[in-house]
Chains A and B, each alone.
Chain A
Amino acid sequence: MRVVAGLLCASLAVFCSAQAQAQNYPTKPIRILVPYAPGGFVDVAARIISQKLQERLGQQVIVENRSGGNGFIGTTAGAKAAPDGYTLLTAHTGEFAVSPAVFKDIPFDLERDFETITLVSIAPMLVAVNVKSPIQSIPDLIAAAKAKPNTIGMGTPGTASINHLAGEWFADAAGVKFLHVPYKGGAPAGVAVAAGEVPMGIMAISSVLAQIQAGRVKPLAVTTAKRSPQFKDWPTLQEAGNLKDVDASIWTGLFAPKGTPKPILDKLHAEMVAILAMPDVREKFAQGGAETGGTSAADFVAMIRREAATYKAIVEKANIKPE
């Protein structure tokens, strides 16, 4: 029923002079789907941009959380929504770069079901340890894991999360094995490192920053190839551990259902580029150690495709199988 309606709407939208539509667009409130519960990393990103889009487009922009099933439910809803520019999707590394490597039978596909608008934010993850742990540097960590494989606990926000894969990438490059300890999200994992439950964790900067400031957690290195511009004194894994290639980041992006008229996509892209360049927006993302995006759709798709291939190799090597 809904699909038929969607198709009908789609063909209509394409038919009646898409150009004119884009000039008027938007004429009614826009929904941005977030496939996670409110308060998370993706949700906060969606809310920052929705507020600015609303100001600039003069229409209400509503963030709608459709959480569940590792983000599958919300993302699938985004794939099936009417491609009229009034339903958009904010997704992160998980949906398009990690899940295809880990799960079989994913109900959506980036290039089949979506139009890519732009990269919204991108941030490194952090290898962090408890301050009281005997491990106080990346070489310490590698040495400890070499001495006792599979015993050094590595806290992450969940199995097959981007953090987990980043950790496996690090372990693989260093030729060691950690004991993966999954938590239910970034905040509990951060607490676990702060409480010394696990000696080490792979964290989003935003989920451990408070603990670092409190002197409970010590940052060792970032997982990206470049240092974070906000935290220049944190070395990269490549520098600190003399490891090749390791370059894992966590990003968010804005997408629209496949078939959304080009003029609308262009308008949204232009607005997003302008928004992501605004100093206060950059500042808000910087709080969590993230940089804003604004790349072209083509570059973004190429980046996702590259990451998906890398993660597939890591998943196979580390034998991560949730199913």
Chain B
Amino acid sequence: MDIFSNLAIGFGVAVTAQNLLYCFTGVFLGTLIGVLPGIAPVATVAMLLPLTFSLSPAASLIMLAGIYYGAQYGGSTTAILVNIPGESSAVVTTIDGHAMAKQGRAGPALGIAAISSFIAGCIATLVVALFSPPLAEIALKFQPADYFSLMVFGLVGAVVLARGSVRKAIAMVVLGLLLGLVGTDVNSGVIRFAFGLPALAEGISFAALAMGMFGVAEVIYNLEQHAADRKVVAVAKIGRVMPTLADLRQCLPSIARGTGLGALLGILPGGGALLSSFAAYTVEKKVASAPKNFGNGDIRGVAAPEAANNAGAQTSFIPMLTLGVPSNPTMALMIGALMIQGIQPGPQAMLQRPDLFWGIVASMWIGNLFLLLLNLPLVGLWVRLLAVPYRLLFPAILMFCCIGVYSINNNPFDLFQLVVFSALGYMLLKLGCEPAPLVLGLVLGPMMEEYLRRALLISLGDPTVLITSPLSAAFLIAALVLLVSIAVPAIRTQREVAMKE
């Protein structure tokens, strides 16, 4: 294997003063926008694009990549501190992360998020370095039927996310699927349930929904409580800032599982990376000992999804670097940036410009190190932020949510969506329904439909493709098993309740 010589080339490119600086700038900006709710990496990358014209291709890609995975890192911060998921992948982190913050353990939650992201990032970078071409081949093997079944599996997993009633969780998933129907139908081009509003043609704004349901609804809920018993962390309660060694030992298996799952799902260009944190959480809740704690501030509930989403963020570069296929809009933009530089990303670029490919791989590792060094000291600062009285903190949360939602499309209409979803989120919160399964339904619903209909279209209407494809069959069976494992205990408890009555 000439992997070492390749890595040597890579580090040779990445460890120049200039590229180190761009790498740092990238991860710093990424952290910043990750922390700011709603400001998406794609918008930031778009705004910085003109800056990169004057840089070398390697430097610009190193910086843009840093923004992308840096944002994944930063996203967990607001999820933990104020219950606002900056990105869909951080939705899961809100569940146990924010619960930990309410218990005064924001520090360890942030700490473990940074550490597990770092470990996952390092391992996933190694995966990118060693196995890119074969993994890319696997990604191409995925057919629409397989994607559909993977999504079904993901949706069943969404039910597991809920800490309360299973029925409510199913209802939330369905509601999410329904909301996901809004917008242009990919297969026919028909605009559905948009009520004549062109702004709804692309579907409901994910940021508006997530911020309304989580952030703003929570703010309203908190304000409603009497000042004395507010569920916001008080200064006195902040104990340790760092997780203990025992925490870390407890988390290591979770981190390992999360990394593996994230790295695998990350390579699928059709939405796999999105599922990684959800899947990791679901698996953790099923596999880990004492799953009862999940949902009430279990540190493993932070470690596993954070590891998964960061591992997924790294491996989602594989389709782009080896096939020239973007796995998400940010990647599409990076490909755009390379094309402006006169480089056609893809297999040729990898052979002709090894400095570019290996330079990026090396910079990812360095970037992850930067992120760890940047984030661990920041934990103390973030935790102190919670000491700010809530009456001063909440207008700031509101304002950042508003700017964030607006900035995505520069369209005031999205702010009205924010209002609607804040109200809905508040009602659901009152009713004890959790928003996380809803969000997953919203995100997966349209994709699931798209893949199912495409699978049927290509098979000329033959539904057996779902079973005859081995991958698809495997996912469907896994989904069934998961469903039974949820249903059986749920039915049992219900019976017990009925018996008592």
> How many Å lie between the Cα of A287 and that of B342 in the bound state?
6
Residues of chain B with a CB closer than 8 A to A188's CB: 269-270
Query: Chain A nearest CB: distance from B317 CB in Å?
Result: 15
Supposing A68-B201, A151-B460, A195-B141 touch, asked if A38 and B329 sit within 8 A by C-beta, the answer is yes
The interface residues of chain A lying within 8 Å CB-to-CB of B272 are none
The answer to whether B336 touches A44 (Cβ under 8 A) is yes
Within B107-137, the residues touching A (CB, 8 Å) are: none
Q: A47-B50, A179-B457, A194-B323 are in contact. Are A323 and B143 (CB under 8 A)?
A: no
Give the residue of B53, B202, B326, B347 whose beta carbon is less than 8 angstroms from that of A39. Answer: B326
Contact of B458 with A197 in the complex, beta carbons under 8 Å? yes
Please state if B342 and A76 are interface contacts (CB–CB under 8 Å): no
- Chief secondary structure at chain B's binding surface: helix
Interface check B144, CB cutoff 8 A: yes
Q: How many residues of B contact A (CB 8 A)?
A: 53
Interface string of B304-333 (1 = CB under 8 A from A): 000000000000000000011110011011
The interface bits of chain A over 95-122 (1 if a CB of B lies within 8 angstroms of the residue's CB, else 0) are 0000000000001000000000000000
Write the nearest CB–CB distance from A132 to chain B, whole angstroms.
11
Give, as a whole number of angstroms, the nearest-CB distance from A54 to chain B: 8
The interface on chain A, measured as residues whose beta carbon lies within 8 A of the other chain's beta carbons, has a size of 54
Give the chain B neighbours of A258 by CB distance below 8 A. none
Q: Is the CB of B339 within 8 A of A38?
A: no
Q: Is residue A209 contacting chain B, with contact meaning CB distance below 8 A?
A: yes
Docked complex Cα distance between A267 and B339 (Å): 28
B464 at the interface (CB under 8 A from A): no
- B contact residues around A182 at 8 Å (CB): 186-187, 189
B202-237 interface code vs A (CB 8 A; 1 in, 0 out): 100000000000000000000000000000000000
Contact of A159 among B45, B144, B187 (CB under 8 A): B187
- Which residues of A18-60 are within 8 A (CB) of B? 37-40, 43-44, 47-48, 50-51, 54
Cα–Cα, bound, A72→B46 (Å): 21
Q: Residues of A contacting B450 with CB < 8 Å?
A: 184
Residues of chain A from 273 to 289 with CB closer than 8 A to chain B in the complex? 283-284, 287-288
Interface residues in A137-171 (C-beta closer than 8 Å to B): 151, 153, 158-160
Asked if A295 is an interface residue, CB under 8 A from chain B, the answer is no
A219 at the B interface (CB under 8 A): no
A191 to B342, CA, bound (A): 21
With a cutoff of 8 Å between Cβ atoms, the chain A residues found around residue B201 in the complex are 68-70, 72-73
Selected A-B contacts with CB under 8 Å, 22 pairs:
A39-B336, A65-B46, A65-B410, A69-B191, A69-B198, A72-B198, A179-B457, A182-B189, A187-B332, A190-B325, A209-B346, A210-B323, A210-B344, A213-B346, A213-B347, A213-B348, A214-B346, A214-B348, A283-B342, A284-B340, A288-B339, A323-B191
Chain B interface residues toward A at CB < 8 A: 42-43, 45-46, 49-50, 53, 140-144, 184, 186-191, 198-199, 201-202, 269-270, 323-326, 329-330, 332-336, 339-340, 342, 344-349, 409-411, 450, 454, 457-458, 460
Q: Which residues of A contact B (CB under 8 A)?
A: 37-40, 43-44, 47-48, 50-51, 54, 63-70, 72-73, 76, 107, 151, 153, 158-160, 179, 181-184, 187-188, 190-191, 194-195, 197-198, 206, 209-211, 213-214, 216, 283-284, 287-288, 322-323
